[in-house]
Amino acid sequence: MAIDPTDPRSPSRQIADELREEITSGRLAPGDALPSEKMLVGRFGTAPATARQAVRLLKEEGLVVAERGKGVYVKRQPPTIRLGSHRFSRQTRAEGKSAFEAEIERQGLEWGQEVLELAEVPAPEWVAEWLGVDAGATVFVRRRRNLVGDTPTQLADSYYRLDTVEDTAIRTPDTGPGGSYARLEEKGLTLERFREEIRIRMPTPTEVQGLRLTPGTPVAELRRIAFGASGPLEVLESVVSGDSHVFCYEFAAPE
């Protein structure tokens, strides 16, 4: 139970491994408090900073989360949001629901959205390339934050060519029933296929704040391009917290 000086692992590693074992074995369940720093010092006989280092390792692994003035707790699993290709069903749009909304309600969760910015901006390089416009051309961007319950789970920026969204509710805070895709189809711009790319990384400090992420939570960066008959209609970049999302895809075996 104490530190073994002959062990090749450093003391902080030994403490971290011991606590991790208690977590994975279930002796410490999600929501349970870890021993406080002082208790670890007493139990293992190290300096406070060494006990802290051990707890920090577990935080970096995303196993535990500290709450200021209270203690360090084994992370609870947040409700999982499944993001799948069935999001883009025309049928759900007909029912007046957006892709995100449909996905959340299908799972019986509450839903919310904040519009952060509506603006005309110079297109970032990759957006210009995907939208098929000149580098630096002006495009319309819709930045928003999606909420499940009262916790933000997704930052999403949609980019459009100016002529695509001309005279549509996509340029206004409320896009109306069925969301922006419904507005595009009303204009005769039928969505035919999608391409998505998912990258994985640690969040920037801005994203940590915007998504209220706890340390040790990675994010997925999703880029989507929605194609109509005549070319790309929307390019989306979205950052979602990794601990509450699963991406699901189904596809037939190609030739």
Partner DNA sequence: AAGTGGTCTAGACCACGAT
Partner DNA sequence: TCGTGGTCTAGACCACTTC
* Residue among 23 and 155 whose Cβ is closer to DNA: 23
Closest CB 8 distance from DNA, rounded Å? 10
User: How many CA atoms does the CB half-sphere of 227 hold within 13 Å?
Assistant: 10
Contact assessment for residue 82 and residue 164, using Cβ atoms and an 8 Å cutoff = no
* Residue 76 binding partner per list a copy of itself, DNA, none, with a CB distance cut-off of 5 to 8 Å that depends on partner kind: none
- Pull the structure tokens for residue 139: 């495009």
Is the four-CA dihedral 30, 68, 212, 61 of positive or negative sign?
negative
CB 120 within 8 A of CB 139: yes
86 binds, among DNA, a copy of itself, none (CB under 5 to 8 A by kind): a copy of itself
How far is 143 from 119, CA to CA, in rounded Å? 9
Choosing from 2, 39, 109, 162, the residue that interacts with DNA (CB under 7 A) is 39
68 sits near DNA (criterion: CB under 7 A): yes
Per-residue interface string for the shown chain with a copy of itself, residues 77-96, x marking contact by CB under 8 A? --------xx-xxxx-----
Within 13 Å, how many C-alpha atoms sit on residue 64's CB side? 27
| Residue 81 contacts which entry, a copy of itself, DNA, none (Cβ below 5-8 A, type-dependent) | none
Buried b vs exposed e over 168-187: b needs ≥16 C-beta within 10 Å? bbbbeeebeebbbbbbbbee
From 7, 10, 115, 172, residue interacting with DNA (rule: CB under 7 A): 10
Q: Among 197, 209, 212, 229, which residue interacts with a copy of itself (rule: CB under 8 A)?
A: 197
Q: Look up residue 85 and give its DSSP letter.
A: G
- Residues binding a copy of itself: number (CB under 8 A): 45
Residues in contact with DNA by the rule CB under 7 A:
10-13, 34, 36-39, 46-50, 52-53, 55, 66-72
Residues in contact with a copy of itself by the rule CB under 8 A:
17, 20, 60-62, 85-86, 88-91, 190-205, 215-216, 218-220, 242-243, 245-255
